[in-house]
Amino acid sequence: MSTTIPNNKPIIEIKDLRKSYGDNHVLNGFHMELNEGENLVIMGKSGSGKSVMIKCLIGLERPDSGTIEVMGETIAELSRTALDELRTEIGFLFQGSALYDSMTVRENLEFPLRRHTKKFGVLKDTTPLVMEALESVGLAHAVNLMPAELSGGMKRRIALARTLILQPKIILYDEPTTGLDPITAKEILILMKSIQDKYNTSAIIITHDVDCARVISNRMILLVDGINYAEGTFEELSKYADPKVQAFFK
Amino acid sequence: MMPMNAIFKITEVFKSFLLEIGELSFFAARFFRESFKRPVEFKEFLRQCYNMGNRSLLLVAVTGFIIGLVFTLQSRPTLQEFGAVSWMPSMVSISIIREIGPIITALICAGRIGSGIGAELGSMRVTEQIDAMEVSGTNPFKYLVVTRIMATTFMLPILVFFGDAIALFGSYLVENVKGNVSFLLYFNQVFNALEFGDLMPATIKTFFFGFAIGLVGCFKGYYCKKGTAGVGVAANSAVVFTSMLLFIIDFIAVFVTDIFYDL
Amino acid sequence: MEKTTSQKIRLGLFVIIGLLIFILATYLIGDKQKMFGNTVHLATSFNNVNGLQLGNNVRYSGVNVGTVRNIEMIGDTNIRVDMIIDEDIFKHIKKNAVATIGSDGLVGSMVINILPGSGTAALVEPGYEISSLNRIRTDDLLNTFSKTNKNAERLTENLLKITNEINEGEGTVGLLINDMAMAKDLKTTMSYLKTSSQKTSESISNLNRLIASLNNKDNVIGILKDTAVANRMKAIVSNLDKTTVEINKTVGNVNKTILNIKDGKGALNYLSNDPGLVRKIDSTMTNLNEASIRLNEDLEALKHNFLFRGYFRKLEREKLREQRK
């Protein structure tokens, strides 16, 4: 699919995105572009609409207005099956890992393969795929454990393995380091980088963690009051005099 | 000022109640729509059946046994007063088959299964597992809700059969010890007293009971509020709401049965 | 994989056992209602089926042998009842067997009792219609009872008219005044009859009320528990008894009077001159006799009514005890 997209064309394009819950206007005309191979960090305070934006992007929430194009397809116009097909190209790492409590690690990893059969066909044996994904996060030994037996960092890595199993082109990280101790957080960041090198993915990383942004970002967008308040590389933004921007870097 | 406030509060409560009923109806409608769509999550359905059926059996058996025992012990003196102890098996069987068996089993299951579903789906919602399923190309409504409602709908009648049988057995034990009634005599009298008009409406009713337990549990869990407190609320309100609904269904069932079977 | 397989097996076991319980229950209930197995149809017809329902038991010599399959109105007072009977029993039913409707113990669901026919009558064939006996219903009983009461009232009226004539001394009756004994007899008779008829009507209204309340109560246990009802029942029955005794006495009195008249003592000569009066007195006597016979009949019927059975037994026991003393 990606071969049909010219190199200069952004892989994700969001225009004038608006979303409100009652009187609470979360997004007020947000726009962004993600180029291929790029790591875009979106920073914002809690409740600034980062998570809502990323959920609109993958079709979990419907925006009030605005268009989202992913790999040339407009999300709002897609049928359910087409959307599911597109979702195989987008990995989503949830904030709290969102592993299925009632399933083993293996079943967790197999879960996306159940219905997303377009990419690999109907698999008789999923073991090679599962093991490959687990090895790339360094947790091959945990394959038969239950999520409850894992530490927070391990859960996050298993969740990452689960998003990787379909070998997506884009990975959306929703606060990948939140709730982890600094050392584990750093390990996760290193892992994210290595994955990007290995699979050549593009990524949108939502965070309010400056360290995370510094390590991983090629480009940053600061989201304040539902609009892109500032945009640029980490170095550029950290030199901004604006107090609202500076608030992020303290 | 105070009465105005009170009236306002009452209308608010009433409004939110109606809202809840409306949402529940939409939820039920969605269940029927989705349950006919492919693909069928049969494996998960079986897993839920196992969880709800087999895992509730012990609880239902113990409660049923005790209910049968206690019910017989309690009503025995009254019947004895009229020298009508020989009517005991008939009385016990009719009350257990018609009412006590279904409603007690349903209430027990509302407590065990309903709250379980509410808490499980609630925590899945809160920890974004439901979203994760959606992203993984699995329709979470079909995978989680449809399978669970189906499972409760089909498992509850079977649990009620067990509950009824065990309750009757408990009642028989009392009769055997206190009145020297033989197994054959007891069950002969039990089935003499019973008619299809007792068994069939009670059985049909249990499907609705099961459906209500699954529906409300899933509804409360699926639309759980964010945060850990939301999970508790979901589990709790699932039980409360289900229990109330069970009695309402029971009430309606009696009327419908009355029309068809002329009690 | 191992785990889920054993889970599946256990789930299968659970479902199968559960369904077996259900099927067994269904079978046993159906078996009791003779829905399975070899059965043969038999018919009978009644004027009144007393609330007989489909599925009610049919008994032959007290053994449950079948159930009621169909109840159908054919003509304004004729109800055809179709029964299914166990094939094994069917071979023993003779053509002169009689069907009656009765109630099944205290808790009154109705049953059809087939009384075995006697002698060498031929055996019934499938679909044969056997004859039936209609059971006396409590309502019918009360109806005849109140009719009797009305008759007694009319009777008293007639006698009153006669006494009035006597008192006014019209025609030949004037001469009767001289016959003081007869006049006195007649007077006492009148007053007896009056009070007895009053008491009868009282008793009947009481009984009516009681029956109405019986009909309202859902189960007999409730009634039995209600000691007030039981006491009232006792009072009514004893009243009835007393009334009969009184009416009997009255009739005896009147009879004596008539005998007097017939024997030609006292007033006979004068009475023979007044044939109208004689006829009146005669018809009164027949009415009176009839009334008291009916009353006795009614009481007898009441005795057989299951509700009062216990009370009468008690009376008999008391009588026995007194005799022993």
Q: Is the pLDDT of residue A237 over 60?
A: yes
Helices A105-115 and A152-164 pack at an angle, to 10 degrees, of 30
Portion of chain A with pLDDT greater than 90, in percent: 2
Question: In the prediction, which pLDDT does B155 show?
Answer: 95
DSSP tag of C122: P
Whether pTM > 0.90 for this model: the answer is no
Q: Does A87 touch chain B (CB under 8 A)?
A: yes
Q: Does A152 touch chain B (CB under 8 A)?
A: no
Q: For C222-241, what is each residue's pLDDT tens digit?
A: 444 455 655 666 666 666 66
Question: In the prediction, which pLDDT does B108 show?
Answer: 94
**In chain C, which among 216-255 make CB contacts under 8 A with chain B?**
221, 224-225
- Structural domains in chain A, CATH included, are 2-249 (3.40.50.300)
**In chain C, which among 266-305 make CB contacts under 8 A with chain B?**
none
Q: Are B193 and B185 in contact (CB under 8 A)?
A: no
Beta-carbon pairs below 8 A across chains B and C? 66
Distance of CA B89 to the CA centre of its chain: 25
pLDDT band at B164 (very low <50, low <70, confident <90, very high): very high
Give the gap in angstroms from C-alpha C29 to the nearest C-alpha of chain B.
Answer: 6
Give dist(CA A193, CA A184) in Å, integer.
14
Sheet with A73-74, strands from edge to edge, namely A24-34, A12-21, A65-70, A73-74
Distance of CA A76 to the CA centre of its chain: 19
Chain B: residue nearest C3 by CA?
B47
Interface predicted TM-score (ipTM):
0.84
Q: Which residues in chain C land under pLDDT 50? A: 1-2, 135-136, 171, 174, 217-225, 266-268
- Highest average pLDDT, of A9-23, B238-252, C64-78, C86-100, comes from B238-252
**Range(s) of the domain holding residue B91:** 38-261
Burial class (CB in 10 A: 0-12, 13-18, 19+), A249: middle
Pick the more confident residue, B72 or C173: B72
B222 in a domain, yes or no?
yes
User: Who among C10, C29, C106 is closest to B196 (CB)?
Assistant: C29
pLDDT band at B234 (very low <50, low <70, confident <90, very high): very high
Give the gap in angstroms from C-alpha B2 to the nearest C-alpha of chain A.
Answer: 29
B18 in a domain, yes or no?
no
Residue C43 neighbours by CB distance under 10 Å: 18
Chain A: residue nearest B48 by CA?
A102
Q: SS3 breakdown of chain C: % helix, strand, coil, rounded to 5? A: 60, 15, 20
Burial class (CB in 10 A: 0-12, 13-18, 19+), B16: exposed
Pick the more confident residue, C293 or B240: B240
How many domains does one find in chain B?
Answer: 1
| For range A167-185, the mean pLDDT | 87
Q: Where are the beta strands (DSSP E) in chain B?
A: none
Helices A182-199 and A127-136 pack at an angle, to 10 degrees, of 120
Structure tokens at A27: 């997004």
Chain C: residue nearest B189 by CA?
C32
Q: For C156-182, what is each residue's pLDDT tens digit?
A: 777 777 666 655 555 455 455 555 666
Q: Is the pLDDT of residue A29 over 70?
A: yes
Which of B133, B130, B136, B135 minimizes the C-alpha distance to B224?
B130
B13 in a domain, yes or no?
no
Q: Are B89 and B72 in contact (CB under 8 A)?
A: no
